[in-house]
Amino acid sequence: MREIVLDTETTGLDPLRGDRLVEIGCIEIYNRMPTGQTFHVYINPERDMPAEAFAVHGLSAEFLSTKPLFTEVVEQFLEFIADAPLVIHNASFDISFINAELDRIKRPVIARDRLVDTLLLARRKHPGVSNRLDDLCSRYSIDNSRRTKHGALLDSELLAEVYIDLIGARQSQLVLASETRESRAERTGDMPRRQRETPLAPRITDADREAHRAFVATLGDKPIWNEFLGAA
């Protein structure tokens, strides 16, 4: 099954109050394994960057001013995600910004029944504790040392690893691999070796043997074939 792990960065917390999307990062996974296919883009929000948001992701208005508008990258984005389920941490936040951008340019919004919210999954599995992405990385021994600031593509990469552990897919793969190796070893070690009741008749005639000996005689004084002919 194809799934897309997705993360965004924004200018703030509320698209209904003028906050805009500034970065999208996506990781493709297939049967719960990353394929190496990614989608990543910075987006010009056509507005200033509040200091609070800049402190989170480090994307300045000056840097983003040279990047494409959402309408210029929307086709590539929609083509990449296609109809796959979207795996997002705190999905309601990210999808509200994506859908606000889609609505702004009169494009159909993304249905919420496509969303897999890893924050909700984490809260069910680990109730009563913090389930931020950094906390989950620590819990599952995932190296997040590169995450000095939020970044959509890096956070998607980390979330893909967290998601695989969160749903137990990694453990299932390890168990399956172990069982496969053990069963293969058992099959190899215990496979009964059957013998034919009646041996097959020789298919090489005396004439074939004599022709071969004559050929070997043309190969010099010490052809290696002599060792096999002697054994025969």
- The answer as to whether 80 is a domain residue is yes
Task: Determine the straight-line distance between the first and last CA of the chain, rounded to whole angstroms.
Answer: 58
At 24, the amino acid letter reads I
Is the pLDDT at 134 greater than 50, yes or no?
Answer: yes
The whole-number average pLDDT for the span 83-97 is 98
Is the pLDDT at 232 greater than 70, yes or no?
Answer: no
- The answer as to whether 211 is a domain residue is no
Neighbour count for residue 21 (Cβ, 10 Å): 22
The whole-number average pLDDT for the span 199-225 is 78
The whole-number average pLDDT for the span 55-65 is 97
Q: Where are the beta strands (DSSP E) in 45-114?
A: 86-88
Least confident of 35-44, 62-71, 84-93, 199-208: 199-208
Structural domain containing residue 27:
2-172
- The answer as to whether 228 is a domain residue is no
Between β-strands 2-10 and 33-42, what pairing exists: parallel, antiparallel or unpaired? unpaired
- The answer as to whether 189 is a domain residue is no
- The answer as to whether 179 is a domain residue is no
**CA distance linking residue 85 with residue 187, whole number of Å:** 39
At residue 175 the predicted structure's pLDDT band, cuts being 50, 70 and 90, is: low
Is the pLDDT at 54 greater than 50, yes or no?
Answer: yes
Which tokens belong to 48? Answer: 């200033």
At 102, the amino acid letter reads L
Three-class DSSP category at 126: coil
pTM: 0.73
- The answer as to whether 202 is a domain residue is no
Q: Which of 152, 125, 221, 180 is nearest to 5 (CA)?
A: 152
Catalytic residues, which ones?
150
Is the pLDDT at 85 greater than 90, yes or no?
Answer: yes
- Domain harbouring 75, CATH code: 3.30.420.10
Q: Which of 28, 30, 25 is nearest to 6 (CA)?
A: 25
pLDDT at 45: 98
Q: What is the mean pLDDT of the chain?
A: 88
Is the pLDDT at 198 greater than 80, yes or no?
Answer: no
- The answer as to whether 218 is a domain residue is no
Is the pLDDT at 49 greater than 50, yes or no?
Answer: yes
- The answer as to whether 56 is a domain residue is yes
pLDDT at 191: 47
pLDDT at 230: 61
| Torsion over CA: 38, 42, 45, 50 (sign) | positive
The whole-number average pLDDT for the span 47-61 is 97
Give residues with Cβ within 8 angstroms of 7, minimum separation 6: 24, 25, 88, 89, 94, 152, 153, 155, 156, 159
179 vs 229, more confident? 229
Is the pLDDT at 177 greater than 50, yes or no?
Answer: no
CA atoms within 13 A on the CB side of 81: 22
**CA distance linking residue 131 with residue 178, whole number of Å:** 31
Q: Which of 51, 44, 40, 56 is nearest to 20 (CA)?
A: 44
Count the domains in the chain: 1
**CA distance linking residue 86 with residue 82, whole number of Å:** 10
pLDDT at 50: 97
